[in-house]
Amino acid sequence: MNERPTLKGKPKMIGVLTSGGDAPGMNAAIRAVVRTAINRNIRVLGVNNGYQGLIDGDVIEMDLRKVSNILHRGGTILKTARCKSFYNLEGQKKGRNMCLEMGIEGLVVIGGDGSFRGAKALTALGIPTVGIPGTIDNDISCTDYTIGFHTALNTVIDAIDRLRDTSESHNRCSVVEVMGHGKGDLALFASVAGGGTACWINEIGFNVERDIIYKMKTTLRTGKHNFIIVVSEGITDVHALAKEIQEKTGVESRATVLGHIQRGGQPCAFDRILASRMGFHAVELLEQGIGNRVIVIQNDQITDMDINEALEMPGKVNYKMLEINNAINI
């Protein structure tokens, strides 16, 4: 289905909000939206606290200087929130009515797939809304990368490198739990870049005996005595796993849960550039009155896709990356 609701003319004012979990690069996306719009004589309201702020009319008029010095900052200056009332039509209508009251004729929503469902609802109620994928999980199938993923990946690799130093010095095994919410890209990419002897992600069949114990015992015989095992969050108790590894291989093992440090920090160059490109493209769509689209990067090209189609796309597993990990991290 290709809904492209169009406005009668170029909007005089648009809004921008961040929603769901924060991700490094969200600020760079806000900045790109604000500056591209102002450059085209479109006023911009920044909506605080995601959809809750929209319902409450909690907005601030943005200008060029309000987005100064945020390009390199993690988090989001507009704050982000999870808003229960936006799941139902009543809350969505309140949001739409507030847009009409404040003169918001188009909206950019920076967030994950839940946030895009809200964007779809708002478009259906007459406010063209465009989604920009901002989440560290890289769990939005229609885009090769989401804003924040590469920064989080660098954070994880930095942590793994540090753990490796101590694992190497003590001949230990480090079991590292990384974020991912059912999507293993962060774990998988981190394992390839950080030298994970095994990488356990939710999407694949995994056998601890075969994929960790046997592999470690085989590798021990080649003279390697320190190991990194990367595990996506929510699959298993990594402390119990470390204990099991120690008991079965004789290699002293410790688990580290990286947790929320993965969500913060300065966005890397890739995320800043991705956010800038996506923010620019989002405004170009709204300028034409086009909503119900998600901005995506595919083969390094920025383009856009129908939100309904985007939300229906099944998740993909990067089997090639898995094969590479298993082939070279031995």
Binding site for ligand ATP (CB under 6 A): 19-21, 51, 82-83, 86-87, 111-115, 117-118, 121, 135, 137
Q: What kind and span of H or E run contains 254?
A: strand 253-257
Q: Whose Cβ is closer to ligand ATP: residue 212's or residue 297's?
A: 297
Q: How far is the CB of 309 from ligand ATP (least distance, A)?
A: 16
Separation between Cα atoms, residue 152 and residue 258, nearest integer Å = 11
Bridge partners of 111, per DSSP, are: 133
Least Cβ distance, residue 117 to ligand ATP (angstroms): 3
Nearer to ligand ATP (CB atom), residue 106 or residue 196: 106
Structure tokens belonging to residue 251: 């290699």
**271 part of the active site:** no
Number of residues that this document lists for the chain: 330
Nearer of residues 37 and 147 to ligand ATP, judged by Cβ: 147
* Cα dist from 14 to 98, 100, 294, whole Å: 13, 11, 16
In three-state secondary structure terms, 175 is strand
Q: How far is the CB of 35 from ligand ATP (least distance, A)?
A: 24
Q: Least CB distance from residue 87 to ligand ATP, whole Å?
A: 5
C-beta closer to ligand ATP: residue 112 or 195: 112
Query: How many contiguous H segments (helices) and E segments (strands) does the chain have?
Result: 12, 11
| Token couple for 100 | 């009409």
Closest CA to 49 of 23, 69, 20: 20
Q: Measure Cα distances from 132 to 60, 148, 151 in Å.
A: 20, 12, 17
Residue 121, both tokens = 């609802």
Q: Phi and psi for 20 in degrees, rounded to 5? A: 80, -155
181 or 224: CB nearest ligand ATP: 181
Question: 145 vs 227, which CB is nearer to ligand ATP?
Answer: 145
The residue at minimum Cβ distance from ligand ATP is: 114
How far apart are CB 163 and ligand ATP at their closest, in Å? 26
Q: Active-site residue among 22, 113, 137, 185?
A: 137
Q: Which two tokens stand for residue 277?
A: 């490109």
**Degrees, nearest 5: CA angle 271-301-37:** 65
Complete edge-to-edge strand list for the sheet that includes strand 301-306: 59-62, 43-47, 13-18, 107-111, 129-133, 293-298, 301-306
Closest distance to ligand ATP from the beta carbon of 80 (Å): 8
Could you tell me the smallest distance in angstroms from the CB atom of residue 91 to ligand ATP? 8
Question: Cβ(54)–Cβ(99) under 8 Å?
Answer: yes
164 vs 183, beta carbon nearer ligand ATP: 183
Query: Are the C-beta atoms of residues 129 and 176 closer than 8 Å to each other?
Result: no
User: Who contacts 315 (Cβ-Cβ below 8 Å, separation ≥6)?
Assistant: 139, 141, 183, 203
Q: Active-site residue numbers?
A: 137
